[in-house]
Amino acid sequence: MESNCYKLLLLGGAVRLYFSRTSLATLIGNRVEFATPLNSFKRMQEGVFLLQQGIDPYRGDLVHETPLLLKALSAILINFAEFLPLLYIILDLCTATLLYSMSRSFVERKLLQMRIESKDYDKDTTELQYNDKDVHDISKMVLVAYLFNPLTVMSCIGLTSTVLSNLLLATYLYALIRRKLLACLVLLAFETVRSLYPVVLIAPLLLIFARRSVGLGIAILIMFVSCCLAIAGANFLVMNSWNFLDGTLGFIFYFRDLQPNIGLFWYFFTEMFEHFRTMFLITFQLNATVLYLVPLSIKLRKEPMLLATVLIALMTVFRAYPSLGDVGFYLALLPLWRRCWKFMAHGFVVFTFFLITLSMMGALWHLWIYAGSANANFYFGATLAFCTGQIFLITDLLFAHVKREFCLYNGQKIMIDGEEARILLE
């Protein structure tokens, strides 16, 4: 890592350390945009306390972190509580470092791939191709996009467990690009047992390791299920009970807590008639997991890292308990596709959506909860617009990738008159 990148890491750590010592840290820890029932630090504290008292923390409906993490954090919370913000900052800096290393490896692999395929590219597509300078530039952009994004900074100082999720996902992506199969399986299994939705990331793993072998793909799936069972078994040994499965995965799937967040679930299920709940619950969960998995895997079968990026973004939008820290993570991956940016047509619209809706969330929450001059519809309107902006961003990236692929092989200066257009359309 270059000296400039070390300076950026130190600066990112300093920014987090400064804000962690202000009242903003307490405020963020109580904001529903960052702290959800799954990642809230207060709920984790409660779980650690109950575990220390010999009480099953999953008997109620308050704690939803896995027993392994509760056990790991218990010693820290007891003996080194004052150093906990520093630990979260170090973990966040590790995430940034892993993303930096992953992006360098990604661009280097892209360069090798493009040298092989360059004979088929059109002569006027140089600006669409990765070059040696991108190894430094793109990786630095990824580093900056993660370190100085206000969403990731505030998620860190609020001590949300999204910091741990981001670290696991970054390590998974790093292992994926470095072709470390066992590490990928263990990391993905651990995060799947924690939060369910990362199970969709098995698709890019299969595309990388088992694209040409069905038998190997089946073997990898069996290994993944085995890893999930092993991690679930390790959690069982901590609690000597299977109650944690209902308190973690069951809580996520059945969506028991209707606390508002930046997602789509809470408002619909607040207004839902009870006899429709099961049907819509299954529909929403399918939308968040398997609905887009097969078509995107087929379309992006040659670009597993783009598939991983899109799946992470989609599960952030459609999961039951999303937070802005999750959004900040996938935004940091966008510089990987810098060569597609030329074809992204909705940048201003997406930026406007993000800026206005993020500003409105705080104001409308205050009007609803404290001033009493608004209601849930106002706040949900802002979160719905925010989700719409994210969908615009994801689809814009996908269309940009398709346009870039077409132009690489056909050129950017194709003149189409009526006759030629009919031939191309056929």
State the Cα–Cα distance between residues 352 and 386, nearest whole angstrom.
10
Tokens for 118, please give them. 């360059």
Task: Say how many Å lie between the first and final Cα of the chain, rounded.
Answer: 50
State the Cα–Cα distance between residues 350 and 392, nearest whole angstrom.
7
Phi, psi of 418 (to 5 degrees): -60, -45
- pLDDT above 50 for 420: no
Q: CB of 198 within 8 A of CB of 191?
A: yes
> Which of left, alpha, beta for 54 (phi over 0: left; psi -120 to 50: alpha)?
left
Tokens 């901590």 sit on residue: 238
Buried b (16+ CB within 10 A) or exposed e, 404-415: beebbeeeeeee
- pLDDT above 60 for 38: yes
Q: CB of 292 within 8 A of CB of 315?
A: no
Nearest to 410 by CA among 113, 119, 114, 123: 123
Using DSSP, state whether 189 is helix, strand or coil: helix
Chain Cα centroid distance, residue 204: 15
102-147 pLDDT, tens digit per residue, is 999 999 999 999 888 888 888 878 888 999 999 999 999 999 999 9
* Torsion on CA atoms 243, 249, 255, 257, rounded to nearest 10: 50
- Across all residues in the chain, what is the average pLDDT? 91
What is the reported pTM?
0.94
In this structure, which amino acid lies at residue 384?
Answer: L
Tokens for 282, please give them. 């299954």
**In which band, very low, low, confident or very high, does the pLDDT at 213 lie, cut at 50, 70 and 90?**
confident
DSSP for 404-419? Answer: HHHHHHH-S-----HH
In this structure, which amino acid lies at residue 24?
Answer: L
DSSP for 204-258? Answer: HHHHHHSTT-HHHHHHHHHHHHHHHHHHHHHHHHHHTSSHHHIIIIIHHHHT---
Tokens for 216, please give them. 């190997």
- pLDDT above 50 for 233: yes
Cα Rg of the chain, angstroms: 22
**In which band, very low, low, confident or very high, does the pLDDT at 415 lie, cut at 50, 70 and 90?**
low
Residue 21 burial (10 A CB sphere; 0-12, 13-18, 19+): exposed
State the Cα–Cα distance between residues 61 and 57, nearest whole angstrom.
8
Helix (H) or strand (E) holding 33: none
Which range is most confident: 42-46, 140-144, 417-421? 140-144
Query: Minimum mean pLDDT among 112-126, 284-298, 347-361, 369-383: which range?
Result: 112-126
- pLDDT above 50 for 412: yes
Query: Minimum mean pLDDT among 13-17, 18-22, 76-80, 392-396: which range?
Result: 76-80
E strands of 133-199, at which residues?
none
Residue 416 burial (10 A CB sphere; 0-12, 13-18, 19+): exposed
Give the residue with greater pLDDT, 3 vs 309.
Answer: 309
How crowded is residue 393: how many other Cβ atoms within 10 Å of its Cβ? Answer: 24
**In which band, very low, low, confident or very high, does the pLDDT at 425 lie, cut at 50, 70 and 90?**
very low
Q: CB of 169 within 8 A of CB of 191?
A: yes
- Cα-based angle 335, 340, 341 (whole degrees, multiple of 5): 70
State the Cα–Cα distance between residues 188 and 197, nearest whole angstrom.
10
For helices 132-147 and 324-331, the axis angle rounded to 10 degrees is: 170
Chain Cα centroid distance, residue 106: 18
In this structure, which amino acid lies at residue 98?
Answer: L
In this structure, which amino acid lies at residue 38?
Answer: L
DSSP state of 372: -
- Name every residue whose Cβ is closer than 8 Å to that of residue 215 and which is 6 or more positions away in sequence: none
State the Cα–Cα distance between residues 21 and 102, nearest whole angstrom.
31
Tokens for 264, please give them. 């789509």
pLDDT at position 189 is 97
pLDDT at position 417 is 54
pLDDT at position 426 is 34
315-326 pLDDT, tens digit per residue, is 999 999 999 999
- Cα-based angle 250, 61, 311 (whole degrees, multiple of 5): 40
